[in-house]
Amino acid sequence: MRQQRTAVRRTRSRGAALFGAAGELLITAGLVLALFVGYSLWWTDLVADGRSGQAGDRLRRAWTAPSGAASPERVYQAGDGVGFLHVPAMGRDYQVLIRMGTSPDVLNEGVAGVYQEPYRSALPWDASGNFALAAHRDGHGAKFHDLDAVGKGAAVVVETRDRWYVYRVDAVLEQTSKYDTGIIAPVPEGSGYRGPGHYITLTTCTPVYTSRYRMAVWGSLVRVDPVDAQRTPPPELRTG
- Helix or strand run (H / E) with residue 97: strand 96-100
Verify whether residue 205 is a known catalytic residue.
Answer: yes
Q: Determine contact, residues 181/201, Cβ cutoff 8 Å.
A: no
Quickly count: other Cβ atoms within 10 Å of residue 61's Cβ. 11
Sequence-distant (≥ 6) Cβ neighbours of residue 166 within 8 angstroms? 155, 156, 157, 221, 222, 223, 224, 225, 234, 236
Phi-psi map region of 227: left, alpha, beta (phi>0 left; psi -120 to 50 alpha):
beta
DSSP letters, 159-215, are E-SSEEEEEEEEEEEEEEETT-GGGGSSS-TTS---S--EEEEEEEEESTT--SEEE
- Pick the catalytic residue from 98, 205, 216, 237: 205
- Give catalytic residues, as residue numbers: 205
